[in-house]
Amino acid sequence: MTKLEKIVLSYSGGLDTSIILKWLQETYGCEVVTFTADLGQGEELEPARAKAEMSGVNDIRIVDLREEFVSDFVFPMLRANALYEGQYLLGSSIARPLIAKHLVGIAREVGAHAVAHGATGKGNDQVRFELAVNALDPSIKIIAPWRQWNIRSRMQLLEYAEKHHIPVPSDKRGEAPFSIDANLLHTSTEGKILENPAEVAPDHVYQRTVDPVDAPDTPEIITIGFERGDPVSVNGKSMTPAALLTELNGLGGRHGIGRLDLVENRFIGMKSRGIYETPGGTILLTAHRGIESITLDRAAAHLKDEIMPRYAELIYNGFWFAPEREMLQALIDQSQTFVSGEVTLRLYKESASVISRTSACSLYSADLVTFEESAIAYDHHDAEGFIRLNGLRLRSWAARNGR
Ligand code: ARG
């Protein structure tokens, strides 16, 4: 094993990363710096400091990344209306490159040559962390304890904790917990009973959205303001990116918006079933499509829709910092120059629907589309020729087929 002087560990303070911390100290006999990111997971982070201190960590980094997460990662992705496999808003996928970026930044700052993460050997997250680190600093070594140590089961993990005097919370003593990943964009839940896609997910899986059946019987009307493709206000009140998403999470959660029960294809090769809750993100996707509907040219909008699955797949597979993602981003960003205005939505029992939209940069022309007499020069005979020429090849084809 190469001698390492310092390792920066992505550390949540939970049981798994506490064990990883101890294992790194023992295995490499070197200083471990912990990095804990506040991504709006809704967890107290100070306990992580206390736990790291107890494990003898001298350099403890707890960083509030909420604004950076939303403005530099979530919003650029929303400009693309990105969905993986048509449904998943990529809440976990988009957080990994940000965490990796800061792991690399801290490693450089403290002169560490390695970073470590607690992602398991079967998931997408290990791929995302490591591809991001590769792209940002190829000289940094990556340690993935779950792929390296001999611990193969939950039981062995608890035994290791016991042996090393790592406190195991009583609720972690029984069977394995759900695998939960939360941040300002979403909560994802996998594992346990959910591993059987034939089983209906129990109610207690849902953490930040009410059951639509219990959502208010009166709809709530909200207005979201956009500037150049990004949401900037709710009901006329300007907000920072993180504050805006937090506000919409509250509204969406109350109305049971943004639940998803999905079987998806992991990059690594297997199918997995998860429950996602993305209340604010779901509202924003609908609102963004609403403002784009009046501000984007048809061909521009369709081109965006064509590249979207590719762009979403790049993010899902961990290629955020790859050149092709940046190229697609440039295209998407350029399309947003005139995507400004306001969208009004109705939130009601699991749905967020656009009910009106306005923009100073609108391409919509009532004069052009109206059924009434119009002042704008539009010659109906043009439509006749347009259809005749488009129909030319269909008439040839049908005649040949003997229809
Ligand atoms: N399957 C989702 C994804 O790959 C969620 C992963 C959640 N991560 C976790 N450690 N529970 O994006």
CA distances in angstroms from 61 to 26, 105, 133, 181, 358, listed in the order given: 21, 12, 18, 20, 45
Q: Return the pLDDT at 378.
A: 86
SS (H, E, C) the chain: CCCCCEEEEECCCCHHHHHHHHHHHHHHCCEEEEEEEECCCCCCCHHHHHHHHHCCCCCEEEEECHHHHHHHHHHHHHHCCCCECCCECCCCCCHHHHHHHHHHHHHHHHCCCEEECCCCCCCCHHHHHHHHHHHHCCCCEEECHHHHCCCCCHHHHHHHHHHCCCCCCHHHCCCCCCEEEECCCCEEEECHHHHCCCCCCCHHHCCCCCCHHHCCCCCEEEEEEEECCEEEEECCEECCHHHHHHHHHHHHHHCCCCEEEEEEECCCCCEEEEEEECHHHHHHHHHHHHHHHHHCCHHHHHHHHHHHHHHHHHHHHCCCCCHHHHHHHHHHHHHCCCCCEEEEEEEECCEEEEEEEECCCCCCCHHHHCCCCCCCCCCHHHHHHHHHHHHHHHHHHHHHCCC
Residue 199 in any domain: the answer is: yes
Q: Are residues 172 and 191 in the same domain?
A: no
Regarding whether 126 and 20 lie in a shared domain, the answer is yes
The reply to whether 397 falls in a domain is no
Which stretches in the chain have pLDDT values below 50? none
Residues classed as catalytic: 16, 96, 125, 179
* Ligand 1 atom 5, closest CA: 92
Question: Is residue 65 located within the same domain as residue 154?
Answer: yes
| Nearest of 121, 112, 130, 123 to residue 34 by alpha carbon | 112
Is 402 within a domain?
A: no
What pLDDT does 1 receive?
Answer: 56
Instruction: Tell me, in angstroms, the distance from the centre of ligand 1 to residue 168's CA.
Output: 24
Last residue of a domain, one of 133, 149, 177: 177
Q: What pLDDT does residue 4 have?
A: 85
- pLDDT at residue 375, rounded to an integer: 75
Cα(149) to ligand 1 centroid in Å equals 22
Q: Other C-beta atoms within 10 Å of 54: how many?
A: 12
Residue 153 shares a structural domain with residue 231: no
What pLDDT does 2 receive?
A: 64
User: Which domain-ending residue is among 151, 177, 203?
Assistant: 177
- Per the domain annotation, does 161 fall within a domain? yes
CATH number for position 274: 3.90.1260.10
Pocket test for ligand 1, best of 10, 17, 125 (most atoms within 8 A of CB): 125
Count of domains for the chain: 2
From the CA of 233, how far away is ligand 1's center (Å)?
30
**Tell me: the pLDDT tens digits for 95-122?**
999 999 999 999 999 999 999 999 999 9
Tell which of 177, 209, 235 closes a domain. Answer: 177
Same domain, 15 and 105: yes
Domain with 252 in it: 186-296+338-358
CATH number reported for the structural domain that contains residue 109 in this entry = 3.40.50.620
Measured from the CB, is residue 92 less than 6 Å from ligand 1? yes
Nearest CA to ligand 1 atom 1: 274
Per-residue pLDDT, 153: 86
Do 117 and 157 lie in one domain? The reply is: yes
Q: Considering the domain boundaries, does residue 328 fall inside one?
A: no
Domain identity same for 52 and 159? yes
What does the pLDDT look like over 353-394, one tens digit per residue? Answer: 999 999 999 999 998 998 888 777 788 899 999 999 999 999
Q: Is residue 114 part of a domain?
A: yes
Q: Same structural domain for residues 151 and 282?
A: no
Q: Is the CB of 179 under 6 A from ligand 1?
A: yes
The answer to whether position 323 is within a domain reads no
Give which of 141, 138, 140, 160 is closest to 149, Cα–Cα.
160
Please indicate whether residue 274, judged by its CB atom, sits closer than 6 Å to ligand 1: yes
Task: Tell me, yes or no, whether 213 and 345 share the same domain.
Answer: yes
Please give the angle made by the CA atoms of 125, 129 and 135, to the nearest 5 degrees.
140
Do both 155 and 231 map to the same domain? no
Same domain, 148 and 212: no
pLDDT for the residue 119: 97
Q: Is residue 208 part of a domain?
A: yes
Q: Tell me the CA–centroid distance for residue 190 and ligand 1, in Å.
A: 8
Cβ of residue 25 lying under 6 Å from some atom of ligand 1: no
Same structural domain, 23 and 124:
yes
